[in-house]
A and B are shown apart, each in its own frame.
Chain A
Amino acid sequence: MMRIQKHPILDRIQKGRQVTFSLDGKPMQGYEGEPIAAALLAAGVRVHRYTTKARQPRGIFCAIGRCTDCVMVVDGKPNVRTCVTPLKEGMRVQTQVGISAKKESDDHETI
C-alpha cells in the first residue's frame, strides 16, 4: 500500500498538512483532514479491530461509513468509523477489541 504521488488523471491529490497521531501508542504520520482509515492504509495497517466473540480481524470494507467494519477507539471513544472521521494532529487511535481498546503493550499474537 502506498500513497499515489502523481496520478495520470488527478495529477497530485490535494492533502492537508502532515500531522502526527498515534496507533496503539506508536507514533504515525498522516495528513490532516483525510479519513483516519486512509492514513492507516497508507502506513500498511489493515486490521482496525477484532470482533467481540470470535476475535476475528476487521478492516476497511465499504469506506463510506455504512458497514462499521473499520471502527476503532479514537481519543478514548469506541466505535468511531475511521473511514469517515477526519484525522487531526495528536489523535490517539487504538485497535478495538470487542468494544475496548487493545492494550497498548500487546501485540497481535497475544490477543
Chain B
Amino acid sequence: MKRYELIVIGAGPAGLSAAVEAANAGMSVAVFDENARPGGQLFKQIHKFFGSKEHQAKIRGFRIGQQLLKQAEEAGVEVHLNSVVMGIFDLGEITVQHGDGVCHYKGDSILIATGACENMVPFDGWTLPGVMGAGAAQTMMNLHGVQPGSRVLMVGSGNVGLVVSFQLLQGGVEVAAVIDAAPQIGGYGVHAAKLARIGVPFYLSHTIVKAEGTDHVTGAVIAQVDESFRPIAGTEKHLDVDTVCIAVGLSPMSQLARMAGCEMTEKGGAVPVVDEYGQTSIPGLFVAGDVGGIEEASSAMIGGRIAGAAAARRSGYLPEEEFREKASALKASLGQLHEGMFSPKNKGRRDLTVTDEGYLLSKTLLHHGYLSEEEVAGFPGAAPGKSAGIHPVIECTQNIPCNPCQDACRFGCIRVGDHMTALPAVAENARCVGCGMCVASCPGQAIFLVNDEEEAGTATVTLPYEFLPVPEKGAKGVALGRDGRVVCPAEVVEAKTAGFMDGTVLLTMRVPLEMSMKARFFKTGEGTK
C-alpha cells in the first residue's frame, strides 16, 4: 500500500489547483481521476472566462487547463488516470480500481474534488437517443470534434445552456431555440445577447412537453407553462430538431464524502459541511470545487488552492502565519467572484430590478435575450452624449464580476473601478484610438466600436466575431440587430485578429449612419427583407 501526504480525488480545476498548492509547499501528492484525460470539464470550455486578471479572465477555459497541467507537472504531482476511487475508509485509506484490479493507497490528508453531474428533467420521450445533457453535447463537439446533431433545442437558459448554445453555433450546429420554465433568463445577459443577435429565439415560461421520434429524436414539442410550471393546453409549438440538450443545473457528486461519514447538509444537493478552509467534519478530509456546492471553474480553482494550503498546514509544511496570509489573500480573491447579481447568495432571485448603481435592469434582456436600443442608451457603457468619432459602446448591464475591459484600454477610456462587479463606464473625455482591445478582451462579447462618419452618411461598427468562415474585406451582406433581425445592408471593411485575441476576430462593417446603434452582427450575402 503506497502512502502519500495528500491524495486528491478528481483532476479537474479544483483538484489540480489543490494538488499544485500542496506540492509546491513540499507535500507528496497523488491525484486520482477516473477519466482518460485530466482537466475535468476545463478542456470543453472554449469560451473566455470572466473575472479579473488574477482570476485569469479573458483566457479560454481549455488554456487554463493546459496551464494547470503544466503547473502540476512542474510541482511533481503524480496524476493517475483511468483510476476510479471506489471508497474512502478510516485512517485515510482509499481503494482505487485500475482496469480490473483494485489497489489500496493511504493519504495523510485526502481531498475530494469530484465535481458535479448534470441534472435531468423527465418528459415524454426523454430517453430517446438524441436527448442528451448539454455537457454531453459539449464533450462530443469540443473534445472529440463531432457535432451532437444538426439542429438543437436547448432546455435551460442558465449559463451552461447559454454558453453551450453558442458553442453549438460555433461548431456549425443550428440552435432552434433556448427555452426555460422560469419567466426570465437565468444566466448572464451578455451570454444571452450573443445568441439573440445571431437570431436564436428564447422561449421563457416554456417547457418541453415531448421529444418525438421512434428510434431517435425527430422533433420536439414545447409549451408555455403557468405559474406552477404546468404546461398550458393549446400553447404547444412544434420544433423541427434532431437533438434536445438539457441544461437544468448540476448536482454535486458527493457520494464519497457521504460514504466516508462526513456530516452532510443541503446546498443544491447533498454536500459535506466544511470549515472556512474546506475541511469536512472528518479531520484531514477536505473538499473543493463543485462537490462542495455548485459554482464555476474560477472559484473552484481558488477553493482548491485554499484547501491544498490547509492540507499543507495540517502536515506541517506551511507555518501558521504563512498559511493565514495565503488563505486570506485567496479568500479575498474568491470573495470578489462571490459578488454581484449572480452571486451564490442571490442564486435563483428574480426580484432584482435595478443594478448596484441604481440603473433599471433591462426587461427585454431578461425576457428575450437582448437589450432594446433605448435601454442601451441609458447605461454608462453607452456613453450618452458622446457620439463624435470612434468610441466603444459597452452593452454590459448587469453586475457581474468581470473587468478585463478596464485593463484593456491603455488610454483610460473605460472604468469599472475597484469593485469588479460595477458596470463599466465610458469616460466623458475618452480618447479612443479605435484599437479594439476592449472588444477583443470582453469575455461577454458585449463591446462594440462605433464610428459615425457623418459627412459620408455612414458609420462603421466593429464587433467580436468567433465563427467560420470569417467574412473577408469587401464582403457584402446584412447587419443584424440585437434581436437577430435584419436591419440594413452592410459591407465588411476590415477583419483583423492577433495571437493574443485567441480566435476572436474584430470584424468591422459599414452601415448607414442611422444604423450605428442598431447593427450588432454581420451576416454574409442575404438580401434585406
Contacts and interface: CB of A to CB of B under 8 A. Distances in A.
A47 B46 contact: no
A38 B142 contact: no
Contacts of A84: 35-36
Contact of B171 (A7, A65, A66, A108): A7
A96 B144 CA distance: 23
A15 interface: yes
Given A13-B145, A108-B215, A63 B132 contact: yes
Contacts of B502: 9
Contacts of A7: 145, 170-171, 468
B129 A47 contact: yes
Interface in B435-476: 466-468, 470
A86 B147 CA distance: 18
Interface in A1-52: 1-4, 6-10, 13, 15, 34-35, 37-38, 41-42, 46-48
A6 B341 CA distance: 37
B135 interface: yes
Contact of B36 (A8, A41, A86): A86
B227 to A, nearest CB: 31
A78 to B, nearest CB: 16
A86 B467 CA distance: 30
B481 interface: no
Most buried by B among A9, A10, A47, A60: A9
Interface in B203-224: 214-216
B369 interface: no
Contacts of B128: 57, 59
Contact of B216 (A4, A8, A13, A47): A47
A64 B135 contact: yes
Contacts of B117: 62, 64, 66
Nearest to A108: B215
A8 B133 contact: no
Nearest to A86: B36
Contacts of A86: 36
Given A7-B468, A46-B130, A56-B127, A64 B139 contact: yes
B182 interface: no
B84 to A, nearest CB: 9
Contact of B144 (A2, A34, A61, A69): A34
A92 interface: no
B173 to A, nearest CB: 9
Nearest to B142: A10
Contacts of A88: none
A105 B27 CA distance: 58
Contact of A1 (B132, B136, B149): B149
Nearest to A49: B129
A58 B503 contact: no
A40 to B, nearest CB: 9
B116 to A, nearest CB: 11
B139 A8 contact: no
Contacts of B142: 10
B118 interface: yes
B114 to A, nearest CB: 11
A63 B133 contact: yes
A4 B129 contact: no
Contacts of B62: 10
B172 interface: yes
Interface string A73-90: 000000000011010000
13 contacts: A2-B172, A3-B145, A4-B145, A7-B145, A48-B129, A57-B129, A60-B140, A61-B136, A62-B132, A63-B135, A63-B136, A64-B136, A69-B127
Interface of A: 1-4, 6-10, 13, 15, 34-35, 37-38, 41-42, 46-48, 56-66, 69, 83-84, 86, 108
List the 10 shortest-distance A-B pairs measured between CB atoms, nearest first.
Answer: A59-B129, A13-B145, A63-B136, A38-B144, A46-B129, A46-B216, A63-B139, A9-B503, A42-B146, A9-B46
